[in-house]
């Protein structure tokens, strides 16, 4: 496993990290035993950063993860969770709710501190409340030693940049913007470097677009994006390489992006993802796939 420093936090994080949303049965129903074994497999193979949220499975992901971590030494992993989003359309970035949310998460996760706490999907929140109350809550939690570092997550890169221009953040989490089909995260790396803000890149498979199974029905991408990604997946299969492998190798190869989150609740899948990182990237295949995806490059939703 390759390890890189996350911004100016000093945390040396695994290039591939574990996204625990799958533990909340977000993509399919999973058993606790399967989820726990997946967490243990990831840590045993060198993953040391785990990201979760009370929103995933409506606290189920945090609950299962907490059970998995009770048998793991706390110095073996960095723990990141979120606050502010609690349902499909339930957002609350008020000061008191963020404080309460952090305490609830720590109880579910069986820990007395969090390495990172993020405000979750801030584009859906009231901007004044996010900046004046949510961030203030994070700052106070950090002063109290309950969290070590803080930041925000969101899909639109513009909302992340706007927040960075108003407040210093230790970390941001961006998803679906450094993948085979969308590398727009690169455009904000200069401001992240200038601010000393670490970036966590999530969803190298573009929430299922870059997979043979294909995007789920709820995926917000356009039909054109879905069809083009499907074409790329079928081409990879014809060449004997799963597109998932190429996608993970590509997203984790960027030396200025410290870590990329992958989410699965299958022990075999997480083991495969970690092994793929140690194999050479097929540059010829990458070139051909990029050509296929060129018509939709950096198109988002």
Mean pLDDT of 2-30: 91
Residue 26 lies in a domain: yes
Q: Is residue 300 a contact partner of residue 176, using CB atoms and an 8 Å limit?
A: yes
Buried b (16+ CB within 10 A) or exposed e, 226-238: bebbbebbebbee
Cβ partners under 8 Å of residue 133, min gap 6: 93, 94, 95, 98
Select from 91, 159, 80 the least CA-distant residue to 129: 91
pLDDT recorded at residue 215: 87
Select from 85, 139, 84, 78 the least CA-distant residue to 113: 78
Q: What is the pTM of this model?
A: 0.96
Residue 286 lies in a domain: no
How many percent of the chain have pLDDT more than 90? 94
Give the whole-angstrom CA distance, residue 22 versus residue 25.
5
Residue 104 lies in a domain: yes
**3-state SS, residue 151:** strand
Strands 49-51 and 16-19: parallel
Q: How many domains does the chain have?
A: 1
Give the whole-angstrom CA distance, residue 254 versus residue 180.
12
Q: Is residue 171 a contact partner of residue 199, using CB atoms and an 8 Å limit?
A: yes
Task: Enter the tokens of residue 9.
Answer: 């936090």
Q: Tell me, what DSSP letter sits at residue 132?
A: I
Residue 113 is a catalytic residue: no
Angle at CA of residue 173, ends 39 and 206, nearest 5°: 75
Residue 188 lies in a domain: yes
Give the whole-angstrom CA distance, residue 250 versus residue 54.
29
The pLDDT-based confidence of 26 (bands split at 50, 70, 90) is: low
Helix ranges restricted to H, the chain: 32-44, 60-69, 95-109, 127-129, 135-143, 157-164, 189-195, 223-238, 243-252, 267-277, 283-293
Buried b (16+ CB within 10 A) or exposed e, 268-298: ebbbebbebbeeeebeebbeebeebbeebee
Strands 78-83 and 114-119: parallel
pLDDT recorded at residue 35: 93
**CATH number, domain with residue 195:** 3.20.20.100
Write down the catalytic residue from 56, 78, 86, 149.
56
Residue 200 lies in a domain: yes
Q: What is the CA radius of gyration of the chain?
A: 18
Torsion angle of C-alpha atoms 163, 151, 199, 47, degrees rounded to 10: -170
At 263-292, the pLDDT tens digits run: 999 999 999 999 999 899 999 999 999 999
Backbone angles phi, psi at 227, to 5 degrees: -70, -40
Residue 167 lies in a domain: yes
pLDDT at 191 over 90: yes
Residue with tokens 């939703």: 301
Select from 251, 121, 236 the least CA-distant residue to 183: 251
Range of the domain at 208: 3-216+243-281
pLDDT recorded at residue 30: 79
Strands 12-14 and 259-263: unpaired
Select from 301, 215, 181, 196 the least CA-distant residue to 258: 196
Residue 227 lies in a domain: no
The pLDDT-based confidence of 218 (bands split at 50, 70, 90) is: confident
Residue 86 lies in a domain: yes
């Amino acid at each position: 496993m390759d390890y890189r420093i996350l911004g100016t936090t000093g945390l040396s994080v695994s290039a591939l990290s574990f996204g625990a949303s799958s533990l909340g049965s977000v993509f399919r129903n999973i058993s606790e035993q399967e989820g726990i074994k997946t967490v243990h497999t990831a840590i045993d193979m060198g993953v040391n950063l785990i990201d979760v949220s009370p929103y995933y499975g409506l606290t189920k992901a945090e609950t299962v993860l907490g059970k998995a971590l009770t048998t793991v030494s706390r110095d073996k992993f960095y723990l990141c969770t979120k606050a502010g989003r609690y349902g499909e359309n339930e957002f609350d970035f008020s000061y008191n709710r963020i404080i309460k949310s952090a305490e609830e998460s720590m109880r579910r996760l069986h820990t007395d501190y969090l390495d990172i706490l993020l405000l979750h999907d801030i584009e859906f929140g009231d901007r004044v409340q996010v900046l004046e109350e949510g961030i203030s809550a994070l700052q106070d939690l950090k002063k109290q030693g309950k969290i070590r570092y803080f930041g925000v997550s969101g899909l639109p890169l513009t909302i992340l940049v706007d927040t960075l221009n108003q407040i210093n953040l230790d970390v941001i989490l961006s998803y679906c913007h450094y993948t085979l089909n969308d590398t727009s995260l690169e455009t904000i790396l200069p401001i992240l470097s200038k601010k000393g803000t670490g970036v966590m890149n999530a969803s190298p498979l573009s929430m299922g677009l870059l997979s043979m199974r294909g995007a789920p029905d709820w995926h917000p991408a356009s039909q054109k994006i879905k069809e083009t990604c499907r074409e790329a997946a079928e081409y990879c299969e014809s060449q004997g390489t799963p597109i998932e492998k190429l996608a993970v190798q590509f997203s984790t190869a960027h030396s200025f992006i410290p870590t990329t989150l992958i989410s699965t609740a299958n022990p075999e899948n997480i083991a495969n993802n970690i092994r793929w990182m140690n194999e050479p990237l097929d540059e010829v295949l990458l070139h051909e796939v990029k050509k296929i995806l060129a018509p939709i490059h950096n198109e988002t939703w």
